[in-house]
Amino acid sequence: MKQSFVYLLLFVIGVTVALSGIVPEVLLNKNIATWVLYTLLFLVGIQIGAGKNLFTALKRFGWKVLMIPLATTVGTFAGVALLSLIIPGRSLTDCLSVGAGFAYYSLSSILITEFRGAELGTVALLANIMREFSVLILAPWMVKHFGKLGPISAGGATTMDTTLPVITKYAGPEFVVIALFHGMIIDFTVPLWVSLFLSL
């Protein structure tokens, strides 16, 4: 929660600095951001590769545990596709690429900015921040109306870090392993889905 606030603050500082017009041309060079992005992806990879939580959930719950990230993915894409009908001026694939952030706002907004520009990148940043915050705020409501897997699916890629505490609290500690597993799988698929939808 505190970390999300710092991230948001840095974004706001960036906007403010740019609006004041004191940015040196060098900083707007796209190459710098691209190389930082590659570093980010490499680091995300290291975290996935070094993680050991991936198989504990599989051992305990068996293969049906894979149904949860599948539900998250199918449900998100179906819902976004439906709502894209009432969003004028945005293509289905652009909407899906934003939805494919699965609350992983830093990675998805940066990827989308790189390939589609800052406008859709900002949509991705805001949409995925909102998704994370919806779980932080509405987790009890989600459990009540959609069951204990609700906040896990809604949390998308964040269920292994930022939303894990609220999931533990409202779904129960027995769902921690599932949440960790779910977060890792979704985390890994975010760059794949985003780049797939942007290339369509």
Partner 1 sequence: MIYILLCLAAGIAVGYLARKRTAVKYTGSLLSVTIMLLLFFLGLSVGSNEQVVQNFTAIGLDAFLITVGGTLGSLFCAKWVHKKFF
User: What is the footprint of partner 1 within residues 11-50 (CB under 8 A)?
Assistant: 11-19, 23, 27-28, 32-33, 36-50
**The one among 26, 31, 59, 86 contacting partner 1 by CB under 8 A:** 86
Q: Which of 1, 55, 137, 147 binds partner 1 (CB under 8 A)?
A: 147
* Locus of tokens 């906040």: 151
Give Cα separations from 165 to 119, 180, 185 (angstroms).
Answer: 32, 11, 19
Q: Which of 57, 139, 142, 157 binds partner 1 (CB under 8 A)?
A: 142
Nearer to partner 1, 1 or 78 (CB): 78
Task: Count the Cβ atoms, other than its own, within 10 Å of residue 10.
Answer: 10
Residue 3 within binding range of partner 1, rule CB under 8 A:
yes
Q: Residue 58 or 71: which CB sits closer to partner 1?
A: 71
If 0-12 CB within 10 Å is exposed, 13-18 middle and 19+ buried, where does residue 4 land?
middle
Q: Which of residues 102-141 bind partner 1 (CB under 8 A)?
A: 102, 106, 109-111, 113, 117-119, 121-128, 130-131, 134
Q: Could you tell me how many residues of this chain bind partner 1 (CB under 8 A)?
A: 96
Residues 6+ apart with CB under 8 A from 4: 129, 132, 162
When binding is defined by CB under 8 A, the residue of 57, 108, 153, 185 that contacts partner 1 is 153
8 Å CB contact between 80 and 72:
no
Closer to partner 1 by Cβ: residue 76 or 170: 76
Token pair 């998100």 is found at: 76
Of 190, 183, 187, 181, the residue nearest 99 (C-alpha): 190
